[in-house]
Amino acid sequence: MSGGDVLSTLLASEIRADLLVLFHRNPGLIDTVDGIARRIGRTSITVNADVGELLQLGLLKQKRIGASEVVYLDRAKDRQILESVANHLKTINIGGEK
Amino acid sequence: MTTPRSKIGPSGFDQLFSGKAENQLRVKTGIVELDEMLRGGFMPGDAVMLAGSAGTGKTTLALQYLVNGVKQGEPGIYVTFEELPDQIHRDAKNFGWDLRKMEEEDKFRVICTSPSLVLETGDNSLLDDVLRDIQPRRLVIDSLSHLEMFVKRDDMRMEAYRVVRYLKTHGVSSVLLWESPQISGGSFSVTDVGLSFLVDCIVALKPVEIESSMRKALVILKMRGSDHDKRLREYEITPAGIKIESAFTNYEGLISGSPRKVASEKFMELFRGASEKQKRA
Q: Which residues of chain B have a CB within 8 Å of the CB of A68?
A: 116-117, 120
Query: Closest residue of B to A36, CA-based?
Result: B113
- d(C-alpha A92, C-alpha B51), whole Å: 55
Residue partners of B195: CB distance under 8 A and separation at least 6: B49, B144, B156, B157, B160, B178
Domain boundaries, chain A: 3-88
Query: Closest residue of A to B109, CA-based?
Result: A28
Task: Give the residue among B262, B263, B268, B236 at the shortest CA–CA distance from B249.
Answer: B262
Q: Do A31 and B121 touch (CB under 8 A)?
A: no
Q: Which residues of chain B have a CB within 8 Å of the CB of A29?
A: 84-85, 111-113
pTM of the model: 0.83
Cβ-contact B56, B216 below 8 angstroms = yes
Q: How many contacts does A have with B, using Cβ atoms within 8 A?
A: 58
Q: Do A65 and B125 touch (CB under 8 A)?
A: yes
- Give the angle B75-B77-B79 at the CA atoms, nearest 5°: 175
Give residue B160's identity as a one-letter amino acid code. A
How would you write the pLDDT of chain B (281 residues) with one tens digit per residue? 444 444 443 444 444 444 555 556 899 999 999 999 999 999 999 999 999 988 999 999 999 999 999 999 999 999 999 888 999 999 999 999 999 999 999 999 999 999 989 888 777 788 998 999 999 999 999 989 898 888 888 888 899 999 999 999 999 999 999 988 765 554 446 666 678 889 999 999 998 888 778 899 999 999 999 999 999 999 999 999 999 999 987 777 776 666 777 666 666 666 677 777 777 77
Question: What ipTM was assigned to the predicted interfaces of this complex?
Answer: 0.81
pLDDT score for A19:
95
Mutate which of A26, A36, A82 to disrupt the B interface (most B C-beta within 10 Å)?
Answer: A26
Name the pairing type of β-strands B138-142 and B108-112. Answer: unpaired
The H or E element that residue B47 is part of is: strand B47-52
pLDDT tens digits, one per residue of A25-41 = 999 999 999 999 999 99
The H or E element that residue B217 is part of is: strand B213-223
Cβ-contact B177, B50 below 8 angstroms = yes
- d(C-alpha B233, C-alpha B27), whole Å: 20
Which residues in chain A land under pLDDT 50?
A: none
Cβ-contact B71, B197 below 8 angstroms = no
Mutate which of A65, A68, A72, A74 to disrupt the B interface (most B C-beta within 10 Å)?
Answer: A65
Query: Closest residue of A to B115, CA-based?
Result: A31
Closest residue to A65, CB basis, from B103, B111, B122: B122
| B256/chain A closest Cα distance in angstroms | 40
Q: Do A28 and B111 touch (CB under 8 A)?
A: yes
Q: How many Cβ atoms are within 10 Å of B205's Cβ, its own excluded?
A: 22
* A3-88, CATH topology level: Arc Repressor Mutant, subunit A (1.10.10)
Closest residue to B124, CB basis, from A29, A39, A65: A65
Cβ-contact B102, B117 below 8 angstroms = no
Q: Enter the CATH code of domain B26-248.
A: 3.40.50.300
Residue B171: φ, ψ to 5°: 70, 25
Q: Do A28 and B86 touch (CB under 8 A)?
A: no
| A44/chain B closest Cα distance in angstroms | 16
Residues of A with CB under 8 A from a CB of B: 25-32, 35, 39, 63-68, 70
Residue B241: φ, ψ to 5°: 115, -160
B59-62 contacts, C-beta under 8 A, 24 or more apart: B59/B88, B59/B91, B59/B142, B59/B177, B60/B95, B60/B237, B60/B241, B60/B242, B61/B31, B61/B203, B61/B205, B61/B241, B61/B242, B62/B140, B62/B142, B62/B175, B62/B177
Closest residue to A28, CB basis, from B112, B120, B122: B112
Cβ-contact B217, B233 below 8 angstroms = yes
Distances in Å between the Cα of A5 and the Cα atoms of A2, A22, A48, A84, A90 are 5, 21, 21, 10, 15
pLDDT score for B262:
67
Q: How many Cβ atoms are within 10 Å of B29's Cβ, its own excluded?
A: 25
Domain boundaries, chain B: 26-248
Give the 3-state DSSP-derived string for B222-260, with helices as H, strands as E and coil as C.
EECCCCCCCCCEEEEEECCEEEEEEECCCEECCCCCCCE
Residue partners of B157: CB distance under 8 A and separation at least 6: B193, B194, B195, B198
Task: Give the residue among B85, B117, B86 at the shortest CA–CA distance from A35.
Answer: B117
Give residue B148's identity as a one-letter amino acid code. E
pLDDT score for B152:
87
Q: Do B86 and A26 touch (CB under 8 A)?
A: yes
- d(C-alpha B253, C-alpha B63), whole Å: 30
Name the pairing type of β-strands B76-80 and B138-142. Answer: parallel
How far, rounded to the nearest angstrom, does the alpha carbon of residue B240 sit from its chain's CA centroid? 17
- d(C-alpha B126, C-alpha B133), whole Å: 13
